[in-house]
Structure 1
Amino acid sequence: MNYAPRSFRELAALKDILYGGDDAMSSSSSSSSQDGSGNKESRKDHITDKLLERLFAAALPAADVANGGSTSSDVAERLQDQKNRPAFSVPVMARNFSRLNARIGVVFRLQYKIMRILTWRNANHTFSALAIYSFICLYPFLLVLFPVTVVMLGVMVPSFVQRHPPPPSPLASFPVPSEGPPLAEARELRPVPELSRDFLMNMRDIQNFMDDFTHAYDRIVGALSKPTNFKDEQYSSAVYLALLVVGAVMFLLSPYLPWRHIFLVWGWIIVSMGHPKARRMLKSSHDMYVTPREQELSNLFDALVAKDIVLDEPPEHRHVEIFELQRQKNSDVDEWDDWLFSAAPYDVLSQQRASKQRPQGVRFLDEVLPPVGWKFARDSAWKLDLRPGEWVLQRSLVNAEIDSNSKWVYDTTSSGHKGEWRRRRWLRAVERQVTGEE
């Protein structure tokens, strides 16, 4: 008996927190109208929203992709899609929630009607729904007429009966609309008022729906994580192979299967499983036959996977390159200074050289590190590339002269003399670094 007044007080307190209180808002609006500072207040609110948005973007960490976060491309697309939408604002969210809560009752009423049909709350309604479903399965063209029938019988006929209420009759289940002019006002679907019983019922349904969605999401993700995320590569590979075989078989057989009858039979089976007696029988059968053998079947599948799915591929191997750069001391003397080891050959047409920037690199060969996610192969060492003509041709180096003995590639001037830079390439084998390996 005390639940309704307490709910009213809690809802009023929540509304005051979200909207700032009716008294405060009314006094603020009256004072703003008196001193003519309404525009300043709106600009202040807009600036506050922008400031909060920037603070949230700078202070809150982004969710990791592995933990369900968005990738950089997804973030860019979502920001582009939200470009013409309002920014995040607590008052806007509270107002939109209130508007949604006043109008979402029809969705929950439809949900409860479907649940009553699936749980056999009224057997006549369930059989009627199954009869309609059967006709649609056997004659798919009726699906086109279904929306028209719903509008006519579910919306327009009740609206006509509302305006022409039937006279008193002993047959209350079959009301006959009265004749003549309309006797009542037309029915209009309006949002339910705030702090009404329907408003509180909608809030409760939204609250429970969020909990149901969270549990369903966690159970689905928990069931699909192990087979699909390749954390256990053998298990996921076996599941992928099984799905590939099933997909290929279905692709070949699907044109010859009687899909109308399949949907008809499975629809009846699924709805019949919702009957209370069927649920009790299925639960007892599951506890008696499936649960004791569930771990045994799981161990059998794991054994088959470990036996038939062998993943012993060696890590991927490649070669990394580094260029040893030297600079000529004097144009008249063939003496060169060791400069550094760079990832680029610093040729005449390189971007760094064209912009007169110094080459980037390290002083000694031992300071060169492998790329991220790679490591130097065991027993590998830096080896001089003995065929410099290949990489010179691949990079389309111009004004270059190759010394076939020392393997140096020199810059050449327009007069045919050697330039101030020369380079040669060193190679070393690398392999992929296994996850978790330091």
Structure 2
Amino acid sequence: MNYAPRTLRELAALKDILYGSDSTTADQVQDRDHDHDQEQASGPADQRSRKDHLTDKLLERLFAATLPVADTTPAGDPSSDVVERLQDQKNRPAFSVSVMARNFSRLNSRIGVVFKLQYRVLRVITWRNSSHTFSTLAVYSFCCLYPFLLAVLPIAVIVIGFMVPAFVKRHPPPPSPLPSFPVPSEGPPLADAAEFRPVPELSRDFLMNMRDIQNAMDDFTRAYDKIVHKLARPTSFKDEQYSSAVYLALVLAGVITFLAAPYLPWRHVFLALGWIVISVGHPNARQVIKSSHELYMSPQEKKLSSLFELWVEKDIVLDAPPEVRHVEIFELQRRGTDVAEWETWLFSSSPYEPNSPAHVGKQRPQGVRFLDEVNPPPGWKFGHDSVWKLDLQPLGWVQQRSVVDVNIEHDSKWVYDCDHDDGRKGEWRRRRWCRTCERQPETDLH
């Protein structure tokens, strides 16, 4: 397969994707910003790079404008995770097309080792080489039966996977027409040491890495869509009845697993699971499993699904009434010039008790003038049949708030400030009104 561009036009287009329309680096662009005289004296190439720089700046501003400001997003807002990501990345470089292109080129020249490891794992799972698969299963079996070998495994990987091949490369075995065990040669090194360097740009390996990244992105999106499609209904509570049944089943399974876990032979469990997973990857096993699934498993899965749906419809009943809370408001009145005359002042969320900071500091209480102007808390609404009712037990809220220096008039339900020395009532009196409110759905808030 030919991985190189077939025409110079394709090569130029690929270079434009990686670096922009010219090879100007970010440092050169910044130097050009600080030296206006050099910009005026520049040629057509500099004009193109200046145009790309302006495009880059425009994209950066557009990207920054779409992000929320950290101070204006409440903690409970669903987009607060975006603010946290912004805070975590505040010491990192901002979005830039040139930086993204440069970093992509650097990543693409070094990511080949990841895909090599991926292909080796796939060869083992798909039984491309049976001896390699059985060797991997043998190592896995020993690690399951003797878990202390896991501490030696990283060292063995470094020695056998990196150092031994590097030594064999410097001391290659002598050539022989007969098949023999490759024993490294003795004496001084016969070849240069292997160097781990990034692959050259626009080379065959570089373009193969681009192809693998392209396919990996497609594989990730397909897997993501399948997982979301499978988990959307049981976990999102969009179908609340079905999700509730799944929740109960998972909780029950979790309890059973928690109780049974200490008595399970986990070494043999992991050993059996590993062999089963690898065995399923064999081509012959896949054919047998596929045919058996169509003949035997699919009808049983449909029966179990129908039984589960029937259980959900009969036993999972969601007819709970909306959440109801009681809200309170305090009617404040102030004594007028006449001892027996009281002026209605306002309705406040605070009782404005004598020892409150606002009362001691002679601050004006905050509230609304009329009772009809009182609104429910955010996210709540007053019910259709709910009305304001006077609290007939003022001693309860007085004791609950530890209010002191007050006198309670049980007949009228007013709570007065302490009497003066001359026997007059205090300057303020208050009483509590209550009303029920219901939780408002989010769809009604918009």
- TM-score, L = length of structure 2: 0.82
Give the residue type in structure 1 aligned to 2:251.
L
How far 1:109 sits from its partner (Å)? 0.2
Q: State the match for 2:213 in structure 1.
A: 206
Task: Call closer, same or farther: CA 1:11–1:218 in 2, change over 3 Å.
Answer: farther
Task: Call closer, same or farther: CA 1:35–1:248 in 2, change over 3 Å.
Answer: closer
Aligned residues: 426
**Structure 2 residue 432 is the aligned partner of structure 1 residue 432:** no
Q: State the match for 1:13 in structure 2.
A: 13
Q: State the match for 1:236 in structure 2.
A: 243
**Structure 2 residue 256 is the aligned partner of structure 1 residue 249:** yes
Other structure's SS at 2:185 match: coil
Q: State the match for 1:347 in structure 2.
A: 353
Task: Call closer, same or farther: CA 1:360–1:168 in 2, change over 3 Å.
Answer: same
Other structure's SS at 2:432 match: strand
- 1:390 maps to which of 396, 405, 415: 396
- CA-atom RMSD in angstroms: 3.7
**Mean Cα deviation higher: 25-34 or 295-304:** 25-34
How far 1:84 sits from its partner (Å)? 3.3
Q: Is the 8 A contact 1:169 1:175 kept in 2?
A: no
Q: State the match for 1:41 in structure 2.
A: none
- TM-score, L = length of structure 1: 0.83
- 2:340 maps to which of 316, 325, 334: 334
**Mean Cα deviation higher: 356-365 or 258-267:** 356-365
How far 1:393 sits from its partner (Å)? 2.5
Give the residue type in structure 2 aligned to 1:341.
F
How far 1:348 sits from its partner (Å)? 4.0
Q: Is the 8 A contact 2:327 2:437 kept in 1?
A: yes
Give the residue type in structure 2 aligned to 1:338.
T
Q: Is the 8 A contact 1:316 1:431 kept in 2?
A: yes
Matched residues in 2 for 1:31 and 1:339: separation? 68
How far 1:199 sits from its partner (Å)? 0.9
**Structure 2 residue 173 is the aligned partner of structure 1 residue 166:** yes
Q: State the match for 1:42 in structure 2.
A: none
Other structure's SS at 1:241 match: helix
**Structure 2 residue 407 is the aligned partner of structure 1 residue 404:** no
Task: Call closer, same or farther: CA 1:60–1:238 in 2, change over 3 Å.
Answer: same
**Mean Cα deviation higher: 218-227 or 165-174:** 165-174
Matched residues in 1 for 2:401 and 2:378: separation? 24
Other structure's SS at 1:429 match: strand
**Mean Cα deviation higher: 47-56 or 99-108:** 47-56
**Mean Cα deviation higher: 405-414 or 280-289:** 405-414
- 2:312 maps to which of 298, 305, 310: 305
Matched residues in 2 for 1:15 and 1:334: separation? 91
Matched residues in 2 for 1:22 and 1:143: separation? 51
**Mean Cα deviation higher: 399-408 or 271-280:** 399-408
- 1:181 maps to which of 176, 182, 188: 188
Matched residues in 1 for 2:288 and 2:376: separation? 63
Alignment of 1:17-416 (within 5 A): 19-22=19-22, 24=24, 56-60=63-67, 71-72=79-80, 74-75=81-82, 77-171=84-178, 174-292=181-299, 294-330=301-337, 332-350=338-356, 358-377=364-383, 379-412=385-418, 415=421
The one-character-per-residue Cα deviations of 1:65-113 (angstroms, maximum 9, x if unpaired) are: 9xxx9652x4454344334333333322222222111111001000001
Give the residue type in structure 2 aligned to 1:337.
E
The one-character-per-residue Cα deviations of 1:8-40 (angstroms, maximum 9, x if unpaired) are: 7556435435644445559967995996989xx
Other structure's SS at 1:427 match: strand
Task: Call closer, same or farther: CA 1:3–1:188 in 2, change over 3 Å.
Answer: closer
Other structure's SS at 2:320 match: coil
Q: Is the 8 A contact 1:321 1:426 kept in 2?
A: yes
Q: Is the 8 A contact 1:325 1:424 kept in 2?
A: yes
Q: Is the 8 A contact 1:322 1:426 kept in 2?
A: yes
Task: Call closer, same or farther: CA 1:325–1:142 in 2, change over 3 Å.
Answer: same
Matched residues in 2 for 1:380 and 1:396: separation? 29
Which sections of structure 2, spanning at least 5 residues, go unmatched? 39-51
Which sections of structure 1, spanning at least 5 residues, go unmatched? 39-44
Give the residue type in structure 2 aligned to 1:335.
E
Matched residues in 1 for 2:7 and 2:272: separation? 46
Q: Is the 8 A contact 2:368 2:374 kept in 1?
A: yes
Give the residue type in structure 1 aligned to 2:13.
A
Matched residues in 2 for 1:31 and 1:143: separation? 53
Matched residues in 2 for 1:75 and 1:27: separation? 30
Other structure's SS at 1:334 match: coil
How far 1:322 sits from its partner (Å)? 1.2
How far 1:180 sits from its partner (Å)? 1.2
